[in-house]
């Protein structure tokens, strides 16, 4: 008990120290790797509970495989400014978990009767017990969470997903080959009956990542499935959370570079969003992943429109922030490319740059909010040849609001130029190369 009180004090301190280190665009988390995002709307904000991939180190985790020691939680009110609330649960602080296993896989979190219940799969330290689903309980969505001393009895598998129906009944769904479902007791810590296999899903290529939600009386079971080579996101529907389900469509196509895809779907302020992951910050190793968000839309008949993954992501970016135009909405076919800022692979979290090296090459970043009376634009740039950039609004042939001369040189500099009159409001931002044959841009910001 004494130890727990000390733990709570430390966690509270960490909560106070929480910081903004995340971004508006995809990937949204750039101070660490993150995967398997379960998004939930709590207290009027979006909370994301992802897995936390880390690179294996000697004696810590299996090289070439998933390595996860703990969980962080992130929150945002505008889906643009994200706060990292720090570690909420660690393999080193849960009684029953093997602290040498580094297998804290995909989690979920649910609110019930004034408490937040965080569910996570992990390997057990007890011999003969393979693993289980743990629960940690908190008064707040960001912790501190107190882990239960034992995993949930009578349930196995990975990737717990909690669904609460309109009648208040909570269910826990887990994956192990197929999916199984069990009703949770009101205490959210025990199951009512033995888990039941969910029916109607593909018999091959189904391993993990179930996520259930309900809309207009339709129960959607969404899940990753290997139809071809890597996981694509699919969904099946039913009129009952216990099934049977009918496979109905694909939400996101497979991607060759990242074998896994794991997701969640929420409605926030009347818009649906798909949270998923990709290996943006680790292109050569797909087990160090990063969380992304894109908007999701339904057809009139309740079927889901396919989501194309984007760099731009969601939300409106404030013009006075450092706008990472390399997370673009559109770009010219020729002469514009994206690269990591540093060739040093240990500096991936520094992010990306846009390289303009073709006449009139351009990039477009949508949905930037311009307050009235912004006077100048700052661009962090570097150029091997010297060149001129034009800043336009709305579309490629939209009004030019600024022109910047970038001097030839090896160093990165912040270059300023005045901004001409514009209409306050949301605009797409376009940056175009007007002279020179090499200009590189880190970010653009208005003052
Ligand atoms: O993150 C480890 C595992 O990879 C998850 O549990 C799966 O869903 C897959 O994303």
Domain boundaries, the chain: 23-296, 317-446
What top-level class would CATH report for the domain 23-296? mainly beta
Q: Please identify which of the residues 208, 231, 234, 254 carries the catalytic annotation.
A: 208
Q: Which class in CATH covers the domain with range 317-446?
A: mainly beta
Question: Is 208 designated active site?
Answer: yes
What DSSP character marks residue 306?
P
Contact predicate 295/314, CB 8 Å:
yes
Cα(263) to ligand 1 centroid in Å equals 10
Q: What is the DSSP string of 273-295?
A: EEEEEE-TT-TT-TTS-EEEEEE
Burial class for 202, CB neighbours closer than 10 Å (0-12, 13-18, 19+): middle
**Which residue has its alpha carbon closest to ligand 1 atom 4?**
260
Is 326 tagged catalytic?
no
Of 258, 261, 246, the closest CA to residue 210 belongs to 261
**Region of residue 274 (phi > 0: left; psi between -120 and 50: alpha; otherwise: beta):** beta
- Quick check: CB of 262 below 6 Å from ligand 1? yes
| pLDDT tens-digit profile, the chain (447 residues) | 445 444 444 444 444 344 444 567 999 999 999 999 999 999 999 999 999 999 999 999 999 999 999 999 999 999 999 999 999 999 999 999 999 999 999 999 999 999 999 999 999 998 766 789 999 999 999 999 999 999 999 999 999 999 999 999 999 999 998 999 999 999 999 999 999 999 999 999 999 999 999 999 999 999 999 999 999 999 999 999 999 999 999 999 999 999 999 999 999 999 999 999 999 999 999 999 999 999 999 999 999 999 999 999 999 999 999 999 999 999 999 999 999 999 999 999 999 999 999 999 999 999 999 999 999 999 999 999 999 999 999 999 999 999 999 999 999 999 999 999 999 999 999 999 999 999 999 999 999
pTM reported for the whole predicted model: 0.94
User: How far apart are the C-alpha atoms of 334 and 337, rounded to whole Å?
Assistant: 8
Q: Is 38 helix (H, G, I), strand (E, B) or coil?
A: strand
- The residues that bridge with 212 in the sheet, in sequence order, are 221
Question: Rounded distance, CA 168 to CA 364, Å?
Answer: 45
Q: In this structure, are residues 195 and 176 in contact, taking their beta carbons and an 8 Å threshold? A: no
How far is 93 from 131, CA to CA, in rounded Å? Answer: 16
- Quick check: CB of 67 below 6 Å from ligand 1? no
Nearest to 83 by CA among 95, 72, 92: 72
| Residue that has been written with the tokens 């022109």 in this structure | 403
Question: Which of 325, 347, 295 lies closest to 428 in space, CA to CA?
Answer: 325
- CA 95: distance to chain centroid? 29
Which residues partner with 162 through β-bridges?
172
Q: Name the residue with tokens 């290996």.
A: 279
Nearest CA to ligand 1 atom 2: 105
Are both 23-296 and 317-446 of the same fold? no
Q: Is residue 65 packed enough to be buried (19+ CB in 10 Å), middle (13-18) or exposed (0-12)?
A: exposed
């Amino acid at each position: 008990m004494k130890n727990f009180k000390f733990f709570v004090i430390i966690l509270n301190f960490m909560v106070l120290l929480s910081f903004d280190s995340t971004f508006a665009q995809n990937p949204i988390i750039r101070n660490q790797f993150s995967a398997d995002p379960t998004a939930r709307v709590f207290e009027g904000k979006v909370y994301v509970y992802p897995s936390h991939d880390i690179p294996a180190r000697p004696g810590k985790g299996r090289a070439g495989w998933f390595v996860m020691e703990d969980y962080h939680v992130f929150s945002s009110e505008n889906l643009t400014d994200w706060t990292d609330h720090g570690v909420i649960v660690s393999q080193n602080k849960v009684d029953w978990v093997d602290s040498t296993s580094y297998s804290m896989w995909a989690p979920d979190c649910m609110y019930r009767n004034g408490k937040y219940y965080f569910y996570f799969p992990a390997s057990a330290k007890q011999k003969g017990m393979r693993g289980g689903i743990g629960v940690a309980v908190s008064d707040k969505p960001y912790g501190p969470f107190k882990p239960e001393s034992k995993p949930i009895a009578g349930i196995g598998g990975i990737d717990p997903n909690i669904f609460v129906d309109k009648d208040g009944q909570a269910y826990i769904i887990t994956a192990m080959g197929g999916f199984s479902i069990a009703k949770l007791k009101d205490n959210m810590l025990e199951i009512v009956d033995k888990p039941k296999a969910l029916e109607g899903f593909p018999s091959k290529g189904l391993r993990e990542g179930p996520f259930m939600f309900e809309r207009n009386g339709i129960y959607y079971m969404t899940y990753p499935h290997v139809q071809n080579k890597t996981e694509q996101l699919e969904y099946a529907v039913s009129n009952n959370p216990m099934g049977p389900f009918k496979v109905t469509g694909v939400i996101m196509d497979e991607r060759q570079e990242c074998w896994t895809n794991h997701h969640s779907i929420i409605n926030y302020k009347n818009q649906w969003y798909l949270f998923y992951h990709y290996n943006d910050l680790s292109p050569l190793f797909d087990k160090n992943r990063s969380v992304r968000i894109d908007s999701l839309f339904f057809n009139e008949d309740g079927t889901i429109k396919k989501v194309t993954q984007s760099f731009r992501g969601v939300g409106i970016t404030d013009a006075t922030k450092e706008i990472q135009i390399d997370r673009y909405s559109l770009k010219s076919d020729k002469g514009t490319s994206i690269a990591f800022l540093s060739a040093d692979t240990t500096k991936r979290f520094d992010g990306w740059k846009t390289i303009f090296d073709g006449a009139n090459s351009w990039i477009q970043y949508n949905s930037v909010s311009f307050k009235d009376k912004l006077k100048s634009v700052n661009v962090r740039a570097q150029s091997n040849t010297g060149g001129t950039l034009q800043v336009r609004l709305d579309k490629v042939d939209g009004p030019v609001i600024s022109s910047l001369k970038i001097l030839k040189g090896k160093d990165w500099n912040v270059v300023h130029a005045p901004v001409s009159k514009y209409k306050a409001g949301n605009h797409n931002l376009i940056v175009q190369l007007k002279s020179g044959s090499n200009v590189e841009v880190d970010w653009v910001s208005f003052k």
